[in-house]
Homo-oligomer: A and B are copies of this chain.
Amino acid sequence: MSSLRIAVVGAGRAGAVHARNLAFVPGAELAGLIDDRPDAVAELASECGVPVAPTLAEAGASLGLDAIVIAAPTFAHRELAVAAAEAGLHVLCEKPMALTVAECDEMIAAHERAGIVFQVGFVRRYRDEFVEARRRIEAGLIGEPMVVKSLTRGPGLPPPWSWELERSNGMLAEVNSHDFDCVAWLVGSPIERVYAETANFKGAERGVEAEDFYDNAVVSLRFASGAIGTIDGTCPADYGYDARAEVLGSEGLLVIGEVGGSALVEARDRETGMVRPISRTWPERFGDAYRRELEGFVHAIRSGEPPLAGGAEGRAAVAAVRAANRSWLEGRPVAVAEES
Contact = CB atoms under 8 A, between A and B. Distances in A.
Nearest to A252: B268
B226 A199 contact: yes
A132 B237 CA distance: 22
A293 interface: no
Interface stretch (A62-70, A79-87, A254-262): A254-262
A149 B227 contact: no
B149 A232 contact: yes
Contact of A267 (B133, B201, B252, B272): B252
Given A239-B267, A257-B263, A268-B251, A230 B228 contact: no
Nearest to A265: B255
Contacts of A241: 270
A125 interface: no
A114 interface: no
B230 A216 contact: no
A333 B240 CA distance: 32
Contacts of A166: none
A220 B253 CA distance: 21
Interface in A188-225: 193, 195-199, 201-202, 215-222
A106 interface: no
A251 to B, nearest CB: 6
| Most chain B Cβ neighbours within 10 Å, of A227, A256, A262, A274 | A274
A175 to B, nearest CB: 13
Nearest to A291: B24
| Most chain B Cβ neighbours within 10 Å, of A217, A220, A232, A266 | A266
A278 B267 contact: yes
Interface stretch (A37-45, A91-99, A136-144, A303-311): A136-144
A275 interface: yes
A146 B268 contact: no
A55 interface: no
Contacts of A238: 251-252, 268-270
15 contacts: A132-B277, A136-B266, A146-B199, A147-B199, A196-B220, A239-B252, A242-B253, A255-B274, A260-B274, A273-B275, A274-B276, A275-B276, A276-B276, A332-B333, A333-B333
